[in-house]
Structure 1
Amino acid sequence: MTLAELRAKLKAAHEAAKAARVKATAEAATEADRTAYKDALTGAEQALALVKDAEREEALEAASSKGAGDPPGGMGHNSGDDPRVYAAPKKTVKDEQKVLFPVAAQAKAAIINKQHQESGSSERVSPVDLLKNEGYGEFVKELDGRAREQRFKAGLASTTSSSVLLPQPVTEEIIPILYPATTFLQGAPRSVQLIGGTYRQPRGVGSSTAQYVGEGAKKPVGAPSFDDIRMNSHKLAGIVYMTNEAVKWTVGRLEAFIRADLQRVMGLKMDSAMYFGTGAGATPIGIFNTNRAITTFDGSGTTLFANNRKPTVAELDSIGMRMMLSLTGANIVRSDAWRWVMGYRFWAYLDTLRDGNGNKIYPELAQGLWKGIKILVSNQIVENGGTNTDEGSLGLVDFSHVLFAEEEGMTIKTSTEATIDDGGTLVLLWQQNMSAILCEMQHDVTLDQPKAVALLTRVRAGSPSTVAG
C-alpha cells in the first residue's frame, strides 16, 4: 500500500472516530457506543502508526538513493501526492517579487499544514522553513534583517520566531505591485500619509496681492482666503482564490499567480475609483468627480464637434488645445507631470486618422504621446455611458497636484477555512479544497488645485452607434 493510500485510510479512520465520538458522548449513549468509540480510536491510531512508518521508510529511501556528490535537492518540490519539501539549490528573488514572496510562502505553508492535520500527522512547516527548503535562505536573511530593523525602530525585541514571517510591506513597496494594472499610479501622484485615517492641510483658494510701488507709496495688503484639504481613509479589499493543488507549485510560481491576480482585482478597481469614484458609501471621490470646480467641456451636441462620433482633426486639435490652455490659464505650469487619461476607443480613433497620403495624423501615439503629452490608456474609462450608451471621457491631469494618501500600505491575510460571501455566492474554502488571500488597502485621493484637471465629457469618437447627437 502506497503512502498516499495509507494517508487516505488514516483520514477515513479519523472521520469514523469523530463520528463514533459524537454517539459516545451523547446523552443517551450506550455502553456499546462507548466501546465502538474506543475501537475506532484504536483503528485510527494503528493507521497513524502505519503512515509514520511509511514516511520514515520513504525518507530513508530518498537519502540512500543519492550519490555522495549529488546535491541535497531531489526530484523537485512537492511532486506527486507527498507535500513535504526538500532542500534545493540557492535561488534569488527579483525586486518585484520581494513583497509578495513571503505571502506566497505563508499560503503554501498553510495548505501543507492543513493537509498534514487532515491526515493525522503532527508534522508542521513554517513559511521560513519552507523558503529555506526551497533554496531561498538568502532571502530569508534579508527579511530577517528588515524585520529586526522595523522592530528596533519600534523599540521592540529583535528576536525572530521561525513561525512569524516578515514585517508588513511599506507603502513605497506596494505601489510597484499594482503599477502595471493601475494607470492612476503610473501618473505618479504625490504620496501623503494618512494618520489615524485622516489627512488635513490648509489650502489657499484666494490669492495674495502684489504690485510695483513707488518711493514712499503704500505697499499692497493681501487678503488671501483658505479652505482645508481633508482626506479620509477608504478601505479597498480584494480576495485572491487558489485551489489547494497549488501546494505542488514552487513558492516562486505561486507568488507570480498571486501578484497577477492582485493586480487585476485591486489595480483595476483602484483605477476606477481614483478617477470616477462618487463618494457613495465607502467609495472615495475620484479626481474627475471632485466637488471642487475642475474645468469641464461638454462633448455632446454640435458646439465642439459637427459630428461627435467622427470629430475632424481640426476639431480634435481645437479641443485638445482648449484643455491644455485651461490648465496654463489657471497658472498650472506645463510639466512632465501632465497626462492625458483616455479610453481605448478614443485612442484607437486617434490612431486611425490619416492624411491625404495615408500617413498617420498622430504618429507620436506610438511613443505614448498626444500633442507632446504622455498618455494613460485605461479600460476603466467607461465608454458605454450616457443616453446613447456610447459616451466616454477624456481627461487632462497634472498629477503633481493630485494627492494620494495611504495609511498602512497593504494588509494581507491567508485562510484555508473561511466561508466567504463573494457577491452573493458562498465560497466554502474547506469544503471546496481552496485557499484565499485577503488584501486590504486604505487610501484616499484629492486635488490640491482643482484647475489641474480638465475633463471632456460625453466623448463618442469612434463609436459605431447609429444614434446622432
Structure 2
Amino acid sequence: MSLVLQMRSERAQLVAQVQALAKIETDGASLSAEQLAQFTQLETQINELTAKIARAETAERLTAASAVPVAESAQGINSPPAHITVRAEPTPPGVAMAQMVRLMVQAGGNQQAAAEMAKTGGYGADVQAALSTVTPGSGGVLVPENFSASVIESLRPKSVVRKMGAVSLPLNNGNLTMPRVLGNTQVTYLGTEEDISVTDMQFGDLKLSAKKAAALVPISNDLLAYAGVNPRIDAQVSNDLAVSMGLSEDLHFIRGPGTGSLPKGLRHWALPGNVAGAPAGATLTIVDLYLGGLMLRLEAANVDLAGCGWLMAPRTIRWLQALRDGNGNKAYPEIDAGMLKGYPYALTTQIPTNLGAGGNESEIYFANFADCYIGEDTSLAIAISTEASYKDAGGNTVSAFQRDQTLIRVISKHDFGPRHSESVSIGTGITWGAGM
C-alpha cells in the first residue's frame, strides 16, 4: 500500500471515531470532559494527516511528471516523456455497491457521514458521488443505476438461469410485452386455376411485469467495520450480495408459481405434455430413453436447440456421473466436461430433493434458455439493520445482533418467462441418487 493510501486509511479511522463521538450528542446525550478532550485531539490529528496527505500527493505528482523511462535514460535522453499513460485496473462488477454498503454501515446509516468517509478514505469518485446523491425509497436507500447495472452483471455467474443464457431486458415503466408466433402459415401446392387458400399466422404475447424480490444478506461486522479501501474485503462483500440475490432469483425463476406477486418459473410455464414423470426402473437403457424423451419434446415443437441446457439438483448429476454401462465404462463421460447428452448442465440446490409422497423426489429441466427472458427494473434498494433477525437454511431464527452481523436487505424488481412455452420440458419424480 502506498504512503498516501496508508495515511488516507488512518484518517478514515480517525473520522469514524469522530463520527461515533458526534453521534452521542446527536442521540441526546452529552460528552464527558474526557470525550471532549478526545474529540479535540482527534480533530488535530485529522488536520495534521490532511496536511501530510496533501504534501505527499504533491510529491507523487512531481515524481510522476519527471519520471524518465529506463531505456531512454540509457540512450542519454533525459527530458520528461511527452505523456504518461496510466492504465487503471477495471473495478470488478458489484464492488462499488459493496463499498457503498460498507460505508453506510460504518456511518450508522448516516448518508452524509458515509459520503465524507468515502471522500477522506481514498474511495473512488463514483462511490463518493453515489453517497452524496442517493435518495431514500420505500424499500430503503435507492442504489444509483450504474451501480445496479454492475450488480446485475455480477449475478450472471451466481444465478444458474442467467448463466445458462437467459436474456436480460429492461422493463419500461415496469412492463414489457413481447409478441410470439403461436402458429405458422401453411404452404399448399396448387393445381391449374385453383385459388390460393388464405392462412394467417397466429400471434400471442409474453407479458412481463415488475415483481418485487427481496434478498437478506447477513455479513460479518468484522468485514464491514474495516476502514479504508481493501479489494479483498470489498470483493467478499460483493460476492455475498451476489450469491444471496442469485439464489433468490433461481428459486423463483425455476419453480415460482406465478400467483399474486410472485414470478412464474419454468416449472409452471411448461406445457402439460412437456412434463414427464420418471419411469419405473433405473437401468441405463431406461434412463437414456427418458432423457432423450425430454429432448424430443422440444425437437418435435421445432425449438432451436442451440441455446438448450439442463438444470438439476447436485445429487441427480452425481448419480448420472456414477452410472456405468455393461462393460464398467462411464455411461456419460462428458459429464466431467460439464455436458450431458451434448448440452451443458448447471446444478442448483434451488431444485428440491424432498418432493413427492416419499419426500425423496426431485426434478430435471431441459430448456432453450436463449428463449427465456428476464425483464428487469434497473433500480435496487438497500436497507441495513444490526438488530433484525432472519431464518437460516435450516429454518432457525438467527439474531443478527447476537451473531455480531449486519443484515443487508436488497430489493430488486423483475419478472421471468419463456417466449414460447414449448421451449421447456421437465422430468418429475426423479429419485436417482436418493440413497447416496
TM bucket, shorter chain: 0.7 to 0.9
Match of 1:100 in 2: 95
Q: 1:272 aligns with which of 231, 241, 251?
A: 251
CA distance, structure 2, for counterparts of residue 369 and residue 11 of structure 1 = 58
What whole-Å deviation, never above 9, does each CA across 1:262-303 have from its counterpart, x for those lacking one?
A: 23322112111101111234221101212754611111xxxx
Please give the residue correspondences for 1:289-368 in structure 2 after superposition, counting only pairs within 5 Å. 289-290=268-269, 292-293=271-272, 295-299=274-278, 304-305=279-280, 307=281, 311-335=282-306, 337-368=307-338
Q: 1:171 to 1:318 in 2, by over 3 A?
A: farther
CA distance, structure 2, for counterparts of residue 322 and residue 207 of structure 1 = 25
What whole-Å deviation, never above 9, does each CA across 1:125-145 have from its counterpart, x for those lacking one?
A: 5447626633x5xx42xx39x
Q: Confirm or deny: 8 A CA contact 1:189 1:400 kept in the other structure.
A: yes
Q: 1:163 to 1:312 in 2, by over 3 A?
A: same
CA distance, structure 2, for counterparts of residue 230 and residue 316 of structure 1 = 36
Q: Does 1:174 align with 2:151?
A: yes
Q: 1:388 to 1:228 in 2, by over 3 A?
A: same
Q: CA deviation at 1:349?
A: 0.8
Give the number of the structure with larger relative contact order, counting CA–CA contacts within 8 Å between residues 6 or more apart: 2
Q: Does 1:384 align with 2:354?
A: yes
Larger Cα-atom Rg: 1
| Partner SS for 1:341 | strand
User: Structure 1: which amino acid aligns with 2:430?
Assistant: V
CA distance, structure 1, for counterparts of residue 350 and residue 219 of structure 2 = 26
Choose 48-57 or 233-242, whichever is displaced more.
Answer: 48-57
Structure 2: unaligned runs, 5 residues or longer: 1-12, 61-85, 135-142
Match of 2:267 in 1: 288
Q: Confirm or deny: 8 A CA contact 2:253 2:265 kept in the other structure.
A: yes
Q: Confirm or deny: 8 A CA contact 2:270 2:422 kept in the other structure.
A: no
Match of 1:86 in 2: none
What is the aligned residue count? 380
User: Structure 2: which amino acid aligns with 1:453?
Assistant: V
- TM-score computed with the length of structure 1 as normaliser: 0.68
Q: CA deviation at 1:58?
A: 4.2
Match of 1:164 in 2: 133
Choose 284-293 or 241-250, whichever is displaced more.
Answer: 241-250
Q: CA deviation at 1:426?
A: 9.2
Q: 1:94 to 1:240 in 2, by over 3 A?
A: farther
Measured on the aligned residues, the alpha-carbon RMSD in Å equals 4.1
Please give the residue correspondences for 1:139-288 in structure 2 after superposition, counting only pairs within 5 Å. 139-140=124-125, 143=126, 163-164=132-133, 167-169=144-146, 173-242=150-219, 244-245=221-222, 246-251=224-229, 252-288=231-267
Q: 1:314 to 1:112 in 2, by over 3 A?
A: closer
What whole-Å deviation, never above 9, does each CA across 1:420-447 have from its counterpart, x for those lacking one?
A: 4646969687x99764433111111112
Match of 1:83 in 2: none
User: Structure 1: which amino acid aligns with 2:335?
Assistant: L
Structure 1: unaligned runs, 5 residues or longer: 20-40, 74-89, 118-123, 148-159
Q: Confirm or deny: 8 A CA contact 1:104 1:254 kept in the other structure.
A: no
User: Structure 1: which amino acid aligns with 2:255?
Assistant: F
Match of 1:109 in 2: 103
Q: 1:351 to 1:125 in 2, by over 3 A?
A: same
User: Structure 1: which amino acid aligns with 2:276?
Assistant: F
Q: 1:53 aligns with which of 40, 48, 54?
A: 40
Q: Confirm or deny: 8 A CA contact 2:178 2:419 kept in the other structure.
A: no
Match of 1:24 in 2: none
User: Structure 1: which amino acid aligns with 2:190?
Assistant: V
Q: CA deviation at 1:172?
A: 5.2
What whole-Å deviation, never above 9, does each CA across 1:56-87 have from its counterpart, x for those lacking one?
A: 55458879999x999999xxxxxxxxxxxxxx
| Partner SS for 1:271 | helix
| Partner SS for 2:413 | strand
Q: CA deviation at 1:353?
A: 1.5
Q: 1:456 to 1:291 in 2, by over 3 A?
A: closer
